[in-house]
Amino acid sequence: AALLPRPARGLTDRLYCGRRVCYEVLGVSRQASKAEIARAYRQLARQYHPDRYRGEPAGGEGDGAQAAHEKFLLIAAAYETLKDEETRKDYDYMLDHPEEYYRHYYHYYSRRLAPKVDVTIVILVTVCAISVFQFFSWWSSYNEAINYLATVPKYRIQATEIARQQGLLNKTKEKGKNRRSKEEIREEEEEIIKDIIKNKIDIKGGYQKPKIYDILLFQILLAPFYWCKYIAWYCWWIYCFTIKGQEYGVEEKLYIIRRYMKMSQSQFDSLEDHQKETFLERQLWIRENYEV
């Protein structure tokens, strides 16, 4: 029953100027221009503003400061309704179609509760804030990962060998006046090993160095490019392997296996090379072999 059309009520206390017509409150016609509405408002505001009221009769609405204050609020509500073109259009529609009760409520409160700041600016600032947090968070995680990899024998031995070949570790053991304590030498060697792991060793998967193009802001800006690139790649795949019937290469085979395994690119890259070789030996790009 609540959803059924309600009878026409005309003006209501909770919308716009209540039971009064906003045009009549300002003393203007419905054809009045914005300048005429603003002029009428200024004249009435000077007359009924609480700061200017000195105890004279408020006239028409009763005597006293309280009546003048209520009159001023009504004048302000009328001006707020009629000064904006969109709000005035909604109000005129309500005067002409008082039976559309729920529609008037929706338009009135949707405009009152709408954010005053441009939504585009809010979204842009939010995306930028998330992107900055995302970038610094990734760098923090990356540095923690490097500290961890420096303790993994595979990467530590490889980095130490590169450092010895380049003579970097020998420089830390200088004698004479430049001689340092064992603690200082150890700390410097650790920094050298971490630096080599960062710059000299190919780290894949979740330990890769953060890239600015991976943050949310650039992903949104480059989304059309990525979509076009994916569509072009997909068309090439259909043409080469479905229409022409070409055999899959190593990269294509690994791509199909990764899709079967439902792994992201970084997860798949973090696997050891011998694991991928095992996948290829077992021909897991063939669905039947993978299921087995």
pLDDT greater at residue 175 or residue 179: 179
Indicate the pLDDT class of residue 248, thresholds 50, 70 and 90.
very high
pLDDT greater at residue 155 or residue 237: 237
Instruction: Kindly report the pTM of this predicted structure.
Output: 0.47
Return d(Cα 241, Cα 94) in angstroms, integer. 63
pLDDT in tens, 251-280: 999 999 999 999 888 788 878 889 999 999
271 neighbors 206 (Cβ within 8 angstroms)? no
- Report the run of H or E that residue 74 belongs to, with start and end: helix 65-83
What confidence score (pLDDT) does residue 237 get? Answer: 92
Task: Give domain 22-113's CATH number out of 1.10.287.110, 3.30.450.30, 1.10.3720.10, 2.10.10.100.
Answer: 1.10.287.110
The amino acid at 146: I
pLDDT of 146 higher than 90: no
Mean pLDDT over 53-57 rounds to 55
With 0-12 CB in 10 A as exposed, 13-18 as middle and 19+ as buried, what is 165? exposed
Return d(Cα 145, Cα 139) in angstroms, integer. 10
**DSSP label of 247:** P
Task: List phi, psi (to 5°) of 270.
Answer: -75, -10
Residue 208, number of CB atoms within 10 A of its CB:
16
Domain ranges of the chain: 22-113, 121-210, 221-290
252 neighbors 241 (Cβ within 8 angstroms)? yes
- The two tokens of residue 234 are 């997909």
Indicate the pLDDT class of residue 52, thresholds 50, 70 and 90.
low
Beta-carbon contacts of 49 under 8 Å, excluding residues fewer than 6 positions away, are 72
Mean pLDDT of the chain: 81
pLDDT of 133 higher than 90: yes
**Based on C-alpha coordinates, what's the Rg of the chain?**
37
Beta-carbon contacts of 240 under 8 Å, excluding residues fewer than 6 positions away, are 246
